[in-house]
């Protein structure tokens, strides 16, 4: 059995989507083993989003590719500057209002949660996934 952490971010809580999101996880056979509504502290969020070189390079390359595809100039010159700015925005967003933190358990829970949630980029998330339907 695997366990994984899921955060329902402030916009999901404020839009009243918590019940539907939890229903979808239960519907695919995942079991909730912990659940808590919290106002995230700066320290908690900062630790959750680690600024690794791999992560910074990944978000930089994805964003730069979108600008390049449109023929626009990407306003950041390096992955560290861009990654730091993205993390700053994420930290502020997660601290802005309550979030739901839940631990889900089940066979291949990590992979199953990724399928149910959908692609990280909402525009690329398939209909029927949480991001595809609500983002």
| Angstrom distance (rounded) from CA 113 to CA 17 | 16
Q: Can you tell me whether residue 104 is helix, strand or coil?
A: strand
Inter-helix orientation angle 79-95/53-70, to 10°? 100
* pLDDT attached to residue 63: 92
pLDDT digits (tens, 9 = 90+) for 24-60: 999 999 999 999 999 999 998 888 888 899 989 999 9
pLDDT digits (tens, 9 = 90+) for 53-106: 998 999 999 999 999 999 999 999 999 999 999 999 999 999 999 999 999 999
Q: Which of 13-22, 64-73, 86-95, 118-127 has the lowest mean pLDDT?
A: 118-127
């Amino acid at each position: 059995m695997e366990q994984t952490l899921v955060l329902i971010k402030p916009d999901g809580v404020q839009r009243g989507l918590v019940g539907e999101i939890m229903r979808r996880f239960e519907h695919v056979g995942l079991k909730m083993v912990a659940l808590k509504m919290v106002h995230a502290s700066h320290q908690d969020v900062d630790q959750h989003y680690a600024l690794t070189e791999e992560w910074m390079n990944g978000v930089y390359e994805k964003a730069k590719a979108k600008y390049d595809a449109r023929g626009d100039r990407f306003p950041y010159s390096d992955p560290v500057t861009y990654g730091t700015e993205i993390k700053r925005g994420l930290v502020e967003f997660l601290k802005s209002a309550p979030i739901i933190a839940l631990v889900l358990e089940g066979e291949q829970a990590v992979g199953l949660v990724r399928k149910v949630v959908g692609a990280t980029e909402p525009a690329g998330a398939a209909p029927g996934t949480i991001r595809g339907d609500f983002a």
